[in-house]
Structure 1
């Protein structure tokens, strides 16, 4: 036992080095949050109302957009509060819930999307019989279930720990790692489980995605027409961009050597994952996607008023 005081709340430090910039930063992040909700919500709505988009690729995209709304809503409102509130506290149950809601489902959904692109490009004739509506639903539900079950197992052990250490978290949201530092008992088993989950989820899903794209690129290079190669690659360019952003940021955080300044750098990289990437995803998936742009223009077009006879 470090001391006899039981922790009932945590203090989120956020960004203590931005003294005097809290209000402008609040306005910028709030505006980003609104754009994120609008952009991802618009993708879900467009796919829902446009029958031509009722295909596996856009079904997975809707899941990703909903997940981005979920993640940003879990993180940003509390971040906005810490920017303007004098007291940056978060209750213990709220902190644990925030850590739980930031699951690993995004990695699995992106992996399912890479599998879908692999089948569509490398197995076009068998694609309709393999990637059925039933399989799409199973892959999506499996991604959500596995992603949150991994964190849920950690949470079950975490809620049973006594907390009596330092309750200050040097971050703008609650994560399992910082919470464990406040425990006043041995946490080696939980740390081992967290390391095991990280090793299985991140490199495992990345390996599957890389293998899928090796086959995809190999198939694309065999297309004789340059126009055909470009058109085929454009169907997976957006997904590849999002995968590069996500895994690039995550691998940067986990593969860098730990130094005194690494905590500040990790917070900056976390901003990319939790704030900027969810904002960029709708633009990445629509800016070069003719089908989505056509559906969007169709939805925005004013219906013509019939002329009186």
Structure 2
């Protein structure tokens, strides 16, 4: 065989890829345990953890098990958790009044975690979908065909104050009502909770990737379908400029952190938001993203660990400062 002549190249990018140590030196993006937020689901009672069929490895936890999980996450170096309640259908109604019960499930969970793991950052969801029989994020108007924006905002503001009283670090309005960040900030200030932060779901899209989450919190069953449309308040997936407008409004109204949700299909939006604001940016790798990676891996089509890590690295590379992900615990173990 004839000898292949050497190319005369001054620049050979492969020189920097020859071995792991070189690749580490020139890595532009690094995923850290400190970048992760673990979403957790809490239920009543002391039964064994309840597996969520559409989210392999994710469980609904009673408060005792939730506290245990939070301890383990803290020991692994995960700095924050986001709590979501699954309520008994008996506690739900059209108005979502259980959300304003000072002894509702999520508030008792916050108090227990705060007492057991005081160093952990606790984030709570501010929206009515876990509490309503119709599964929407707010109360409906008189016609029953849309969410009443201003009446919902008044309820969310009261929810946020109750969560602050329970000891959360950040309230996280995920409802996408107009003006809710400003109203919540005013309510928190008036009640004396100036140190309670707001992590705003600023660019939350009307995505098809939320199905497993709705199963997890029971809002799909409440509404009678996991395909409930929230198009009148969540963002159109076709829109980019609108995301920047929503972020700008939330920052002006007092948001401490802004979020893009979902993450994987919206990496361009994460980058646009990162370029547009100096405010910290969060991204939510949602239940559908998590489920599809697991499903493909179970069929032997993808390497679970590599795809998991690559998906999170892509979110970080796009510009997210922090990532809510159901992979948080296993990634933290891997990084250790």
TM-score, structure 2 length as denominator? 0.28
Higher relative contact order (CA 8 A, sep 6+): 1
Q: TM-score, normalised by structure 1?
A: 0.30
Q: Which has the higher helix share?
A: 1
